[in-house]
Each structure stands twice: as structure tokens, then as C-alpha cells.
Amino acid sequence: MTVYVVQEPDPNKNILSASKYGDLKIILPARENMMFSPAPTVARLKNALKNFNDNDFLLLIGDPAAIGFAIHYALQANRQQVKLLKWDRREVMYYPVEVKA
């Protein structure tokens, strides 16, 4: 089980509680900017998510364009299904959300 973190969060954001759903794997560094070099960033996302499966989750943090590509490649890799982790501020915890395209 792996939690794919789209982009490394800023140092003030603690995402360790997401590790309850799997090992955290950060795909993009914090300062990655798709605006200046989209092709390498998209390739990195595609490669990182090529084995995404039913046991994995996406943690949607970072550049909105990168998040969109991450969802796209996760859906492609896993028969148009993806599980996300949704943060609930009131309960102060992540909830899994399953999406079938």
C-alpha cells in the first residue's frame, strides 16, 4: 500500500497521519513548477503512477495542474478507479474517497 503525495508539502503542513493508509511516496519536490517545464514534470508523474493499483491512494497536495495529471495517470493505471485521501478540518483526519470514472 502506497500513498502517492503529488507534491511535497510546505514544512508547516504535517501529512504523517496519511501514512495510516500506506507508505508515503512524494512524487514532485516542493518547488517543481509545471509552468516552466511541463514535459519533464508530466513524465515524472506518469512514471511514478504507472503501477498505481486498488491498494494505493493519492494525496492531492500541490500544483493544481500536477494534481490533474496525477489523477489522470492513476485512473489510466487502475482501470479507471482511484482512491483519494480527503482532509477533514473538523475531525482533523483523512478520509478515503473512491472514484470510478
Q: What is the pLDDT of residues 59-75, one digit of tens each?
A: 999 999 999 999 999 99
pLDDT digits (tens, 9 = 90+) for 3-43: 999 999 999 999 999 999 999 999 999 987 788 779 999 99
* Angle in degrees, CA 2, 81, 46, rounded to 5: 60
pLDDT digits (tens, 9 = 90+) for 74-84: 999 999 999 99
Task: Assess contact for 14 and 92: CB atoms under 8 A.
Answer: no
Q: How confident is the model at residue 96 (pLDDT cuts 50, 70, 90)?
A: very high
**Residue 61 lies in domain:** 2-100
Which residues have a Cβ under 8 Å from the Cβ of 45 and sit 6 or more positions away? 6, 27, 28, 66, 69, 70, 73
Number of independent structural domains in the chain: 1
Q: Is pTM, for the whole model, over 0.85?
A: yes
